[in-house]
Amino acid sequence: MSNLREYIKESASKKTEHYFLAGNTTLFIKDPLPDNIDVSELLRNLESKIPNYFMENIDIIYVGQFDILNTKEVNALYSDGAIYITNAQDDMQDMLDDIIHEIAHSLEEVYSAEIYADQNMESEFLGKRIRLQRILDSHDHDTSAQDFKQTDYSSDLDQFFYKEIGYPLMSTLTSGLFYSPYAATSLREYFANGFENFYLGDRNYLKQISPKLFDKVYLIHQLGDTQT
């Protein structure tokens, strides 16, 4: 990943764009964004919703086409102090979702003990996973080949949700259980999805359906506020 960062820096030209966020974080646009995305407005929205302190673990946000995103079939990822995000965005809200989701993953490095040590959120997540398995079984989907008690990311389970079940049906079946289907993918994605929707979605709904998750995100929010 560090080689990719060096390559991007070395390939900078007049066509690339640089912006600065929260003082120390650089937004580097390697490939053009759609015309309907105003970067200045995007940054204003991001800075108004996320405490500046949350950006201290992020050196740079790269925007463009990257093999690693295509290989993993994701729109964004966080690694080693950098966020990599595709420039193929539907609109500003879509891009804002991706960035805030990856900020959540960066904060796992800073607040790992606060988030995971007591296992409260993990117990809540696993309880939901078991309920989801029962729901899927009741709708004649064979879940026997999948480990619903595994909290780490599993590409097999991810593909099962995404391709065999499909997110449109998953959205219906997980309503009132997970804030969105992707939250069921792993414990880390459960946290990141909750963090994302704490700032961009309906906090009351998040608290209602996932109280332990809400408590963790709110704790991190308070810790961030004390640093600003």
Give the tens place of pLDDT for each residue, 36-84.
999 999 999 999 999 888 998 899 999 999 999 998 889 999 999 999 9
Mean pLDDT of 86-109: 96
Q: Does residue 92 sit in the same domain as residue 125?
A: no
pLDDT (0 to 100) of residue 182: 93
Asked if residues 181 and 170 have their Cβ atoms less than 8 Å apart, the reply is yes
Pick from 51, 80, 110: which residue ends a domain?
A: 110
Sign of CA dihedral 168, 102, 130, 147: positive
Q: Are residues 144 and 166 in the same domain?
A: yes
Spatial distance between the Cα atoms of 206 and 212, rounded to a whole number of angstroms:
10
For 16, the enclosing helix (H) or strand (E) is: none
Same domain, 118 and 220: yes
Domain extent for 37:
2-110
Distance CA(178)–CA(193), nearest Å, equals 9
Is 188 found in the same domain as 162?
yes
Same domain, 26 and 98: yes
104 and 126 both lie in a single domain: no
Say if residue 92 is in the same domain as residue 61. Answer: yes
Rounded CA-CA distance 66/49 in Å is 27
Number of domains within the chain: 2
Do both 123 and 200 map to the same domain?
Answer: yes
- What is the C-alpha to C-alpha distance for residues 99 and 84, in angstroms, rounded to an integer? 9
Looking at the structure, do residues 127 and 165 belong to the same domain, yes or no?
yes
Would the pLDDT of 93 be above 90?
Answer: yes
CATH of the domain at 31: 3.30.2010
- Say how many CA atoms lie within 13 Å of 88 toward its Cβ: 8
* Amino acid 18: pLDDT: 82
* Total residue length of the chain: 228
Q: Is the pLDDT of residue 35 over 70?
A: yes
pLDDT class of 223 with cuts at 50, 70, 90: confident
Q: Are 86 and 184 in a shared domain?
A: no
Residue 12: pLDDT over 90: no
pLDDT tens sequence across 149-181: 999 999 899 999 989 999 899 999 999 999 999
User: Both 66 and 123 in a single domain?
Assistant: no
Nearest 10 degrees: CA dihedral of 144, 121, 225, 111? -80
* 102 and 122 assigned to the same domain: no
DSSP state, residue 166: I
Look at residue 22 and tell me whether its pLDDT is greater than 50.
Answer: yes
Amino acid at 151: T
* Tokens matching residue 116: 């995971």
When computed from its CA atoms, the radius of gyration of the chain, rounded to whole angstroms, is 18
Residue after which a domain boundary falls, among 110, 145, 176: 110
Per-residue pLDDT, averaged over 182-202, amounts to: 97
Neighbouring C-alpha atoms within 13 Å toward the C-beta of 24: 10
Please give the pLDDT value at position 14: 44
Is 0.75 topped by the overall pTM?
yes
The residue out of 56, 89, 110 marking a domain boundary is 110
